[in-house]
Amino acid sequence: MRLENKVAIITGGGSGIGYETSILFANEGASVVVVDINEDAGNKTTQEIQNNGGQATYVHADISKAEDCQNMVQVAEDTYGKLDVLFNNAGISHAEDDDAINTSEDVWDLTMDINVKGVFLGCKYGIPALQRTGGGSIINTASFVAVLGAATPQLAYTASKGAVLSMSRELAVIHAQEGIRVNALCPGPLRTELLMKYLNTDKKKNRRLVHIPMGRFGEAEEIAKATLFLASDESSFVTGSTFLVDGGITAAYVTPE
């Protein structure tokens, strides 16, 4: 098993990429700390892992709060003795996120608090735990929009994911010689509840699909498999990367038909 005897924290573990990754990591031998603000979803993921014979613990957390991020790391160390993998995955894409003119300050602040500050706080408390372990892997969920502008305006989200990408690069450089790898996972458009709520009309969906060479939205399970590679020792020489899993969207200029 690719994560045997490893301990992983996964934020946003109750749904989407976080759920699929939690299940996959547990199946690959990891003890998983499932972190989510939604108690029902987080407990459901945890119970599913336990029912399948895996090791998992649920932690309720608002990742924009320092005490919650500190606690999730403490629970990992108290319960399983160490931390090997930190997957800062939780994030939001607000339905009222738009361009600079039409995005409210409240939507901007909320997006930054969760998508950027949440990753910062995860690293703030997670990195010392990885140092105590002697190294490990941090995977921060950015997005293809950290590399490209989005076809549908979502300025706060795009800016937040650009911040995650640049933060990941700098942390990778700072901690490289400590055996701590930091990579920015950049999914393309996925068929998740989060994105489908935002792309809530056929027009919005088609504006995304026309730019994806593979002609479809990705699946959360496909991103989980990429995360597994970054978490495992197979990626031992991979750090500071912009790890794009995007169906080719950043590689091609596609003219709408």
- Residue 164: which pLDDT band, with cuts at 50, 70 and 90? very high
206 versus 228: the higher-pLDDT residue is 228
Q: Give domain limits for the chain.
A: 7-188+221-243
Residue 191 tokens, joined = 């068929």
**Confidence check: pLDDT of 204 > 80:** no
Q: Report the C-alpha gap between 198 and 33 in whole angstroms.
A: 28
- Residue 194: which pLDDT band, with cuts at 50, 70 and 90? low
Q: Strands 180-187 and 55-60, how do they pair?
A: unpaired
Residue 98 tokens, joined = 């738009």
Query: What digits encode the pLDDT tens for the residues 51-84?
Result: 999 999 999 999 999 999 999 999 999 999 999 9
Fold of the 7-188+221-243 domain: Rossmann fold (3.40.50)
Q: Report the C-alpha gap between 145 and 152 in whole angstroms.
A: 11
Q: Which residues contact 170 (CB under 8 A, 6 or more apart)?
A: none
**Confidence check: pLDDT of 254 > 60:** no
Q: Which residues contact 68 (CB under 8 A, 6 or more apart)?
A: 60, 61, 62
Active site residue 157: yes
- Residue 202: which pLDDT band, with cuts at 50, 70 and 90? confident
Mean pLDDT of the chain: 95
CA distances from 177 to 1, 7, 34, 85, 169 (A): 26, 21, 28, 17, 14
Q: Report the C-alpha gap between 12 and 109 in whole angstroms.
A: 19
The per-residue pLDDT for 247 is: 96
**Annotated catalytic residue within 19, 80, 125, 157:** 157
Q: Report the C-alpha gap between 198 and 50 in whole angstroms.
A: 33
Q: Would the pTM count as exceeding 0.75? A: yes
Name residue, tokens 């690069």.
169
The per-residue pLDDT for 198 is: 67
Helices 39-51 + 16-27 axis angle, to 10: 20
- By CB atoms closer than 10 A (0-12, 13-18, 19+), residue 147 is middle
Q: Report the C-alpha gap between 246 and 185 in whole angstroms.
A: 10
Residue 86 tokens, joined = 């930190």
